[in-house]
């Protein structure tokens, strides 16, 4: 009876289009009321889900990204990317992917990547002769690198709830992120040659050097975060705070993109975005507590082990499950609810926790570009003024490429474990 209340309220609010945080909150509240439990459980469990030192890194990284973007970093990254790869066939498409890869080292989220890069690249690609739906689809697919290349908000969440080193996860995401970029550039090059998309003229080494000078501060920030953590100089949370101070200094004194009077607005915007994520984490923790009290994780584990005790078949089943879930549920919520029980089975079968967490996150990130609720699809479709159907059709070549990378990361552990093994083990 209680599970029926939980399931029905969850599905009804989900298909009514409620934000996923409210879906989890309403369904959890309905269950608690039906069970006759005190509603004080909700704030208690929400607080316990958010009460983590590692979670402090989330609003800090968001603020660092906003400070850098407020300084005009997006245009500088795009200029540098154009100078590097713009002269190749399909040059602006390559620029889009390259810029997204660099910006991923600042933002930590796919939505920020899609919105910032998309606002510059989609109109630019359309003006140069690329179809609007192609430009939007490429931008949405490239934004998948945002949460897999460090710093990564989903990795911080998974590391916090599962007791996995966030530093190791940051290291594990670097190689898969580069593979995503290489795969999408290959597809873009092929489609551009086949369809006759334009290339930009070679702008010369002088422009390459000048554009590098503009973007180098963003590259330094990414390197500082990654190598600072890998070398043990600071924790991910400390790295987030250092990146805020760095972004503040660069934004005001180097880029001069904003003034001191703009800082309160940037802090407020970051606080709102960070609070939204933390509220989602809190409600997801309440929902996860309910599932645990109903022994759902144990049922999932028993069912998985009854189906197979082969870790390769298990990995396939997990990927299929998460690809379906990713089409309908927000990434953070799905990670909080599903990762702990699935990780328990994975470790039983001998799957490395860092490896498992990496391909789990990558899988659900792909869901950000799949209909019907792919957030990045909506962002890019809105920028390009195309329908969801048009962008969904155009994204399939890139979606297929990202799925190939997901398969590679899932079944070749060293792709994700190479850097963690070198630096941490």
Average pLDDT, the chain: 84
| Rounded Cα distance, 324 and 319, in Å | 9
* Average pLDDT value for residue range 70-75: 75
pLDDT for res 232: 74
CB of 159 closer than 8 Å to CB of 237: no
More confident residue, 307 or 350: 350
Over residues 137-141, mean pLDDT: 91
Give the largest Cα separation in the chain, rounded. 71
Q: Compute the distance between CA of residue 143 and CA of residue 146 in angstroms, rounded to an integer.
A: 5
Q: Work out the number of other CB atoms within 10 angstroms of the CB of residue 376.
A: 30
Question: Is the pLDDT reported for residue 339 higher than 90?
Answer: no
pTM of the full structure:
0.84
Mean pLDDT, rounded, for 6-12: 85
Share of the chain above pLDDT 90, in %: 17
HSE-CB of 387 using CA atoms within 13 angstroms: 3
Comparing CA positions, the residue from 130, 135, 129, 63 lying closest to residue 99 is 135
The Cα–Cα gap between 62 and 51 comes to 18
């Amino acid at each position: 009876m209680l599970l029926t209340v939980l399931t029905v309220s969850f599905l009804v609010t989900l298909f009514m289009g409620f934000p996923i945080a409210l879906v989890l909150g309403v369904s959890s509240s309905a269950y608690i009321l039906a069970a006759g439990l005190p509603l004080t459980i909700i704030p208690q469990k929400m607080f316990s889900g958010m009460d983590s030192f590692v979670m402090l890194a989330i609003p800090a990284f968001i603020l660092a990204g906003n400070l850098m973007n407020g300084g005009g970093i997006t245009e500088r990254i795009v200029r540098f990317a154009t100078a590097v790869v713009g002269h190749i066939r399909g040059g602006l498409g390559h620029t889009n992917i390259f810029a997204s890869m660099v910006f991923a080292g600042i933002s930590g989220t796919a939505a920020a990547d899609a919105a910032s890069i998309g606002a510059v690249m989609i109109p630019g690609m359309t003006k140069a002769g690329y179809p609007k739906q192609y430009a939007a689809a490429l931008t949405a697919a490239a934004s998948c690198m945002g949460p897999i290349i460090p710093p990564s908000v989903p990795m911080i969440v998974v590391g916090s709830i599962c007791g996995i080193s966030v530093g190791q996860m940051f290291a594990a995401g670097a190689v898969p992120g580069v593979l995503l970029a290489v795969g999408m550039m290959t597809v873009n090059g092929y489609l551009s040659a086949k369809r006759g998309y334009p290339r930009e003229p070679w702008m010369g080494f002088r422009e390459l050097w000048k554009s590098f000078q503009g973007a180098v501060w963003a590259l330094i920030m990414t390197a500082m975060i990654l190598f600072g953590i890998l070398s043990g100089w600071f924790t991910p949370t400390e790295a987030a705070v250092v990146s805020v101070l760095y972004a503040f200094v660069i934004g005001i004194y180097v880029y001069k993109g904003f003034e001191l009077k703009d800082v309160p607005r940037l802090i407020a915007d970051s606080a709102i975005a960070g609070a939204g994520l933390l509220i989602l984490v809190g409600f997801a923790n309440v929902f996860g507590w309910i599932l645990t009290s109903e022994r759902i994780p144990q049922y999932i584990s028993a069912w998985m082990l009854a189906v197979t005790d082969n870790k390769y078949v298990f990995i396939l089943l997990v990927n299929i499950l998460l690809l379906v879930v990713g089409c309908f549920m927000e990434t953070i919520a799905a990670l909080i609810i599903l990762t702990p029980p699935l990780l328990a089975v994975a470790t039983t079968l001998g799957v490395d926790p860092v490896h498992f967490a990496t391909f789990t996150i990558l899988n659900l990130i792909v869901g950000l570009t799949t209909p019907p609720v792919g957030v990045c699809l909506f962002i890019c479709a809105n920028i390009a003024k195309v329908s969801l159907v048009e962008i969904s059709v155009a994204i399939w070549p890139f979606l297929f490429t990202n799925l190939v990378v997901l398969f590679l990361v899932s079944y070749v552990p060293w792709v994700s474990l190479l850097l963690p093994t070198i630096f941490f083990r």
